Amino acid sequence: MRIRRKKYDLYVVIILLILTITYFAYNHISSESRGIVAYQKALKSYKDFDYEKAYYEFSKVPSGSTLKEPALFRQARCATNLGKKELAVRKYNRILHSKTKSSIVPISEYNMAILLLDLKDDDAQKHFKNIIKKHPTSDYAIASEYYLGLIEIDKLPTKESKLVKAKNRTLVRFKTYVQKAPDGRFAIKSIDEIIKLGLPLNNYDNLLIAKAYYAHGEYEKSKEFLNRTTLAESWTDFVKTEFKLKNFDKVKYYTNYGLKDHANSVDEKELYEVIDNYILTYPTRKEGILSLINAGYTSNGADYISYLNCNEVIGTNYKEACFRTLYEKYPNGQFSAESLYNLFITKYLQKKYYDAQRLGFLHLKKFPNVKSSPAVTYYMGRIAYKLKHYDSANNYYKQTIAKYPDSYYAFRANYNLYKDDGAFSFLNITHKPVIFPYKKSMDNNLVIRLALLKDYDLVEELCKKDRFIQSWIAYQKGSFTISAILARNAMDSLDVKPAFDDLRWRLVYPLHHIDLVEKYKGNSNPIIIQSIIKEESHFNTYAKSAVGASGLMQLMPVTYSEIQKNYGFNGDIFNADSNIQAGCTYFANLKKSLGNKDLYAISAYNGGIGSVNAWFSKLVYNDTDEFVEQIPYPETKNYVKKVLRSYWVYGNIY
């Protein structure tokens, strides 16, 4: 009996445990589903500016829902918009004392601190300091420096003995903000407060202020504070400011002054910008570069000037000699990799394969991952093939595809590996929508939940530093050009590229206007047309170049009018439908005139059909690679590579 009793008790415990688990599971699922419904309804009211109703509806999100913190955050925003600051503070405070510690916490504490400051509550200072301590790299920490400066101004002592010390502490707050965010929204206000403090400013302070004014486009004020600095330390800022003010004689004076004696302590990126500005003050680039070459500078920046000069040199032998001198003079400089690559590709085109191979080995060993690495890896494969080392060639091709999957050279390597029926094997696109770029995200996928609920504003605030998410939000708001550029820059910054089924690729290469491309493609490859649109305008319907090329496919008005006249269709050049129709017609005509070759048509689309026809007789080439690498116009050569890179990536994604 005792054994049966124990078994009975065990069964009861198990049943109770199952019921408890079932209850909590059901309650969790129920809370989640109820939370989603309540949040959606509340968000609609919020977007309709009905904050009273939205506040009430957000309160219906159950405490067991993962959306409870966002709901509290939204309630705080509603209360703020209704002028109920104390109520908003209470809601933010609940978030701060929650257990989850999600990415909503720092922004909640920041918003609460601002409200407390408005309410003249001394706790504001404590919270601003806490933000700086716990989230030092965030934008909220930088802004907190500004607000702490305002608080400290209100608390300045009246005693003269303590006043100067307190003012200096306050000065540090505003200076920290200006230093970290010279283009920030509080930068000019911080400068105003710095000036009001009436403390003597040193050279560094004046330069900091000048940089902030420059960042905000106030060039005269920037110049005013630059005049209070030491020229040896601020000459690059003088150059940039005078360039913006179009005082080109002064640009030349300050550039020559700095490059002569004070270039070695300047950041290289800033130095290159100064040199570029100097060159732009001359009628032609060649004249500006020649002026710098003749000055014979030997300090920092001399290698950049030589590099620019080598790119302007005409003639294979002269160019080779120029890059050889540059490489030998600066073997470890910023441009040594590009110089070595130019020597390498010259030897390849001269069919001196063993010389090229030796340079290629050196390049890959010395510069394993630079801008020219994909090209060198690919051409090492071509050299191995020419020397009948077929296994080695295939290994180089595979390396190119694996390490640089989204490059033009991956496209060429794939062709050489698999010998398709021509280089343009992608013909049809399978439509795939642009969706949230991550399958998994931070905060137990809270951001993804908010994204699916279309709370774009909150997602944007929580993910300010994620450019893919910023790109996705821009896409959702219809800012397709901004979206594509943000995503492109984000992808380019990744050392290792994801597989092509990664959702982020669709943001970089979206299928805008693909319906019109399919409609007007004729016999053209739609993926090539799509790639041309991407590279020409980044999907900006109203794009207009400096020379007047207009619309999605960047057609010159004369060309556009001629096509309209000959083919009898109407429409404005900035209309997506008529621009793509004309662009497809123009591309088809180029292709027909150039032996039905896509490569030549792409080249002519940028460089002109007359130029391409002239190259046929001037250039000595045996294949696609030799033709592309010898295109005389750098812009056209890069354009061809960019379009074919886009074609390759579009084909892999879709």
What confidence tier does 21 reach under pLDDT thresholds 50, 70, 90? low
Q: Coil, helix or strand for 544?
A: strand
Nearest to 346 by CA among 337, 359, 365: 359
Question: For the chain, what percent of residues have pLDDT higher than 90?
Answer: 81
Domains of the chain as residue ranges with CATH: 2-167 (1.25.40.10), 234-391 (1.25.40), 442-508 (no CATH), 514-653 (1.10.530.10)
Q: What is the pLDDT of residues 397-412, one digit of tens each?
A: 999 999 999 999 999 9
Q: Is the pLDDT of residue 231 over 60?
A: yes
**What does pLDDT average to over the chain?**
92
CA 379 to chain centre: 29
* 505: number of Cβ within 10 Å: 23
Decide if pLDDT at 26 tops 60. Answer: no
- Cα pseudo-dihedral 627, 628, 632, 637, rounded to 10: 160
Q: What is the largest distance, in Å, between two alpha-carbon atoms of the chain?
A: 110
For residues 626-648, average pLDDT? 95
The whole-number pLDDT of residue 175 equals 97
The phi, psi pair for 550, rounded to 5°, reads -130, 155
DSSP collapsed to 3 states, 356-419: HHHHHHHHHHHCCCCCCHHHHHHHHHHHHHHCCCHHHHHHHHHHHHHHCCCCHHHHHHHHHHHC
Q: How far apart are the first and last CA of the chain?
A: 71
Determine whether 96 is exposed, middle or buried from the number of CB atoms within 10 Å of its CB (0-12, 13-18, 19+).
middle
Residues 6+ away with beta carbon under 8 Å from 332: none
Residues facing residue 544 across a β-bridge: 550
Task: Give dist(CA 35, CA 41) in Å, integer.
Answer: 10
Tokens of 88: 């908003």
C-alpha to C-alpha distances, 102 to 66, 80, 135, 344, 485, nearest whole angstrom: 11, 22, 13, 52, 29
3-state secondary structure (DSSP) of residue 654 = coil
What local confidence, expressed as pLDDT, does residue 99 receive?
73
Contact 437, 468 (CB under 8 A): yes
Q: What's the pLDDT at 22?
A: 45
- Position 571 scores a pLDDT of 87
With a cut of 80, say whether residue 340 has pLDDT above it. Answer: yes
Q: What is the pTM of this model?
A: 0.86
| Cβ-based burial of 210 (10 A; exposed 0-12, middle 13-18, buried ≥19) | buried
Chain segment 28-87, per-residue pLDDT in tens: 457 889 999 999 999 999 999 999 999 999 999 998 898 999 999 999 999 999 999 999
Residue where the block lists tokens 């703020």: 80
Q: What are the backbone angles phi and psi of residue 223, rounded to the nearest 5°?
A: -65, -40
Please, which residues have CB within 8 angstroms of residue 305's CB and are 6 or more apart in sequence? 275, 289, 292, 293, 297
Distance CA 253, CA 249 (A): 6
Q: What is the per-residue pLDDT for 420?
A: 57
Q: Are 380 and 360 in contact (CB under 8 A)?
A: yes
Structure tokens at 375: 């090209």
- DSSP letter, residue 498: P
Of residues 353 and 443, more confidently modeled: 353
